[in-house]
Amino acid sequence: MKKAFTFALFMVLTGIVLSSSSLFAGIGVDPTVTEISVSPGGKAKGTFTVVNDGDESVQVVVQPENWPRKRGAIDISSWLKIKPEEFKLGAKGVRKVKYKVKVPKEAQGELMSMVFFATTAPAGRAVNIRTRFGVALYVTVKGTEVLEGEISDFRVKKVKSKEEKEKLYFTALVENRGNVHFRPRGKVVIEDEQGKKLDEVEVQYGWPVFPKNRRLYRANWEPEEIVPGNYRAIAIFNYGDIYSELDKQFEKDISFEVTDRGEIVTIGVEKN
Amino acid sequence: MRRRFLFLIFIVLFILATKVADAFADVATTAGVDVGAEVKSVLVTVRNVIGDQPTSAIGFGNISSAATFVSSPQYLEVTCGSTALAWGVQIYTNNAGYGGEQKGGLISADNSSRVPLLWRVFDSMQNPGIGVPCINSPGWGFVKDKNDADMNGSWPGDGVQIEYRSIVTNNGLGAFPSPGRSGSSPVYVYFGADFSGVPSQSYLTQIVIEVYNL
């Protein structure tokens, strides 16, 4: 009995399947990101194009969600209607899905939803796999925008690339103090101790910072040689381009020394 | 009387029909900024580690009660992409019915036990015929659950660490087995599970592969 128990097998995810498909979904949606501006009480509408790249028809469910998934956001159903909410899409099929936005009169800043197009999970599998394809819908409440941000932290450290080459790795923590998202477009300017510009490196553009939130942006400086000496680095970001406020800019600088031993000493900052 | 009643019904139906037809017609279109252009999709294929053939499901088969860490004989090939400026793909389970604090992983049929599920991601297929052996948890990401209390407030866009569910973004591969790796679609996700001390039962779950565009 004990032996029988010891060698007892228990069924764990048997992998027994009732369907022969090995491919899940194939759903894609366009546009992937929509940014619109609507007055309080105003309306807007548009369409999503949903495609099925797969070889089988799929049942698609539309699931708009608050994003980021935080409590306290205005209930999506009060400002966003989508039709149809569920439909079948044949292999290689294309379907238009309409949406309608009605901005509540009391809304301020922006409304945001990640609209997911989910395939319903096939039944009968031990492990069901569901795919969801989310597209972003940003609605700026016209006239109530507060566009405000800063770099709350700016650091440098030395790292090695895959090829074992030394580089300086800058990180800038950008904080959004306003009520609409923005996409910082930035660079890091590196100067020597006389203030002569040595180089500048771009920060990757695209990731948004949500209202009352922070995001870390990175840049690498990979010169031929990192010569010992004193340096100054300035992170400069423009962040108003979505709203045609091109003069919106914030910056922060740090001074640091590269010692003879190749260590980075940030001036005015205690070593961790 | 009956004719009047039918006329009233007709009027009501006519008004309702008009309302429905106008549901999307009574607003002005506002020009949007479509950051993305080309339609990209997400395709998930289950493949056997041995033979690399497509198959129908991820599984762990029949496990000895003495087992601890076990590798799945299947892996996922996830083909995805986006023309958005910022995008990513995340993985999590959806075990709403399980009562434990951490819900990620495989759940017993009677909702009483949980088997932690682990993942690693690569941008190429690993070790043909062998896969990625899972013998302990370091270097593996624990699959989170949508219903975990600590999932809220830490989704992409919040600027905080999301490494336990992010398998790939336009910046590169997820953090397991090691952070900071470049890589692009398709990506290959391998699974392990920790069966230590769980009772003999069937264990099930639903894995969600989710693309987001920001």
Note the pLDDT tens digit of each residue in A75-93: 899 999 999 999 999 988 9
Are residues A178 and A120 part of one domain?
Answer: no
Are residues A190 and A116 part of one domain?
Answer: no
ipTM: 0.86
pLDDT band at A1 (very low <50, low <70, confident <90, very high): very low
Question: Is pLDDT of A61 > 90?
Answer: yes
The H-assigned helical ranges of chain B are 2-22
Are residues A162 and A135 part of one domain?
Answer: no
Q: Is residue B34 part of a domain?
A: no
Q: What is the pLDDT of residues B55-108, one digit of tens each?
A: 888 888 888 877 899 999 999 999 987 878 899 999 999 998 898 888 999 999
B53 in Cβ contact with A38 (< 8 Å):
no
What parts of chain B have a pLDDT lower than 70? 1-38, 152-161
What is the domain-level CATH number for residue A233?
A: 2.60.40.10
In this predicted structure, what is the pLDDT of residue B101?
A: 85
In this predicted structure, what is the pLDDT of residue B17?
A: 41
d(CA A242, CA A236): 17
Are residues A186 and A251 part of one domain?
Answer: yes
Q: Is residue A6 part of a domain?
A: no
Domain boundary (A118, A141, A164) is at A141
In this predicted structure, what is the pLDDT of residue A55?
A: 81
DSSP A141: E
Measure in Å the smallest separation between the Cα of A255 and chain B Cα atoms. Answer: 26
Are residues A56 and A82 part of one domain?
Answer: yes
Cross-chain Cβ contact B44/A129 below 8 Å: yes
Domain carrying residue B203: 43-213
Cross-chain Cβ contact B214/A127 below 8 Å: no
Beta bridge mates, A175: A150, A214
Nearest by CB to B41, which of A8, A27, A114?
A: A27
Cβ of residue B199 closer than 8 Å to a chain A Cβ? yes
Domain carrying residue A170: 149-266
* Lowest pLDDT segment from A47-56, A96-105, A123-132, B82-91: A123-132
Beta bridge mates, B18: none
Which chain A residue shows the shortest CA-CA distance from B114? A12
Are residues A195 and A224 part of one domain?
Answer: yes
Cross-chain Cβ contact A136/B212 below 8 Å: yes
Are residues A85 and A185 part of one domain?
Answer: no
Q: Is residue B176 part of a domain?
A: yes
B55 in Cβ contact with A22 (< 8 Å):
yes
Q: Is residue B10 part of a domain?
A: no
> CB burial class (10 A; 0-12, 13-18, 19+) of residue B24?
middle
Q: Is residue A189 part of a domain?
A: yes
In this predicted structure, what is the pLDDT of residue A267?
A: 77
In this predicted structure, what is the pLDDT of residue A16?
A: 32
d(CA A195, CA A233): 10
Q: Which residue has the higher pLDDT, A12 or A214?
A: A214
Domain boundary (A119, A141, A163) is at A141
In this predicted structure, what is the pLDDT of residue B7?
A: 63
Q: Is residue A10 part of a domain?
A: no
B116 in Cβ contact with B142 (< 8 Å):
yes
Are residues A76 and A38 part of one domain?
Answer: yes
Domain boundary (A107, A141, A175) is at A141
Q: Is residue A1 part of a domain?
A: no
Chain B 105-124, residues with CB within 8 Å of chain A CB atoms: 106, 115
N- to C-terminal Cα separation, chain A: 60
Q: Is residue B134 part of a domain?
A: yes
State the pairing for strand pair A33-38/A127-141: parallel
Q: What is the pLDDT of residues A112-144, one digit of tens each?
A: 999 999 997 665 555 678 899 999 999 999 999
For chain B, the domain total comes to 1
Nearest by CB to B212, which of A36, A114, A127?
A: A114
d(CA B199, CA B102): 18
Q: Is residue B27 part of a domain?
A: no
For chain A, the domain total comes to 2
Are residues A160 and A136 part of one domain?
Answer: no
In this predicted structure, what is the pLDDT of residue B25?
A: 30
d(CA A50, CA A63): 14
Chain B 154-173, residues with CB within 8 Å of chain A CB atoms: 155-159, 170-171
A141 in Cβ contact with A241 (< 8 Å):
no
Cβ of residue B200 closer than 8 Å to a chain A Cβ? yes
Chain B residues within 8 A of A33 when measuring between CB atoms: 33-36, 84-85, 213-214
Nearest by CB to A131, which of B59, B199, B209?
A: B209
Q: Is residue A9 part of a domain?
A: no
Q: Is residue B195 part of a domain?
A: yes
Are residues A209 and A128 part of one domain?
Answer: no
Are residues A258 and A154 part of one domain?
Answer: yes
In this predicted structure, what is the pLDDT of residue B114?
A: 96
Q: Which of A6-10, A264-268, B134-138 has the highest mean pLDDT?
A: B134-138
Are residues A169 and A92 part of one domain?
Answer: no
